Amino acid sequence: MAKKAAPRGATPLVVKEPMQWRITMPDIAWQWLLLPLIVIALAAGVRWAYHSWPITSVDVKGRLSVWNAEDIAGKIVWVKDESFFSLDLQRVYQQLSGLPLIMQVTVRKRWPNTLEVNLYEDVPMAIWNGDQLLSGNGRLSEIPAHLNAGNLARIDGDRNYAEAAVRHFRRIQQSLGHLNIGISRLTVSSVGAVDVELSNGWQVRFGRQYFEERVQRLELLIAQLPEAAVVSVDLRYGKGAAIGWRTVQEMG
């Protein structure tokens, strides 16, 4: 018996899908891609803040006599080119503390546009060696251009004796002040010996020992001697003094 033929039918059509290409990207943190944009935004913000809050005012206060507020503000006029945020207070402090006679400085910012400066000034006492200013604390500095130095006493000597010269100067002034006699010039030698020219014209030699005792002796002599007749007093003696008298011609 013949086999039955397989039924004929449609042959399924196999359609191949087009080839797809897949590209694998590395695992990148997106925050790193944004970082440059953040930096640029911050920089723009800083520049905006710099120009938005400039220093426009300098407020100067304190104990001043030789300097005045306008002088001090003029020394730091550059701060008005700075912003509230960029102003370097340390730079301001160093500049002001280096000025003659300025012994204490404080600086701070006051929102939104002010620099506050507080200063304390030392007392000018004498001109040291003709070209420096000696303060009441024994500090040497330049002579401010606006200072009237003609009213100050003169002190000459070795730099090592500057503090001793201040002490001697003050002690003599304290002793003779009530007599309306001051110091025109004080000299300290290389061994510490003190010579003084008084405002009454007396040349006084104290030496380098027993200074306190000799100051007291000078005060007694001024009270006892005819002031106009004396030209010099040498106190370098144990109990007395050598007096130099003016001639009749000098007194006349």
Residue 6 has pLDDT above 70, yes or no: no
- Tell me the C-alpha to C-alpha distance, in Å, between residue 21 and each of 17, 81, 198: 12, 61, 108
Q: Which residues contact 189 (CB under 8 A, 6 or more apart)?
A: 157, 158, 195, 208
Residue 181, classified by CB atoms within 10 Å of its CB into exposed (0-12), middle (13-18) or buried (19+), is: buried
Domain membership of residue 167 as a residue range: 124-251
The pLDDT confidence band at residue 23, using thresholds 50, 70 and 90, is: very low
Mean pLDDT of the chain: 85
Residues 6+ apart with CB under 8 A from 156: 128, 129, 130, 185, 186, 187, 188
Instruction: Please report, rounded to a whole number, the percentage of residues in the chain having pLDDT higher than 70.
Output: 77
Question: Do 109 and 170 belong to one domain?
Answer: no
User: Does 86 score more than 50 pLDDT?
Assistant: yes
CATH of the domain at 85: 3.10.20.310
pLDDT at 127 over 70: yes
pLDDT of residue 115: 96
Which among 106, 121, 136 is the end of a domain? 121
Q: How far is CA 240 from CA 56, 107, 108, 118, 169, in A?
A: 66, 55, 59, 51, 22
End position of a domain, from candidates 121, 142, 173: 121
In a domain, 135, yes or no: yes
pTM of the model: 0.70
At 212 the pLDDT is 95
For the segment 166-224, what is each residue's pLDDT rounded down to a tens digit?
A: 999 999 999 999 999 999 999 999 999 999 999 999 999 999 999 999 999 999 999 99
- Domains in the chain, number: 2
84 C-beta neighbours (distance < 10 Å), count = 19
Q: How long, in residues, is the chain?
A: 252
Q: Are residues 78 and 173 in the same domain?
A: no
For every residue of 114-131, DSSP letters joined together read EEEEEEEEPPEEEEETTT
**43-71: per-residue pLDDT in tens?**
666 666 566 688 999 999 999 989 999 99
Residues 136 and 230 in one domain: yes
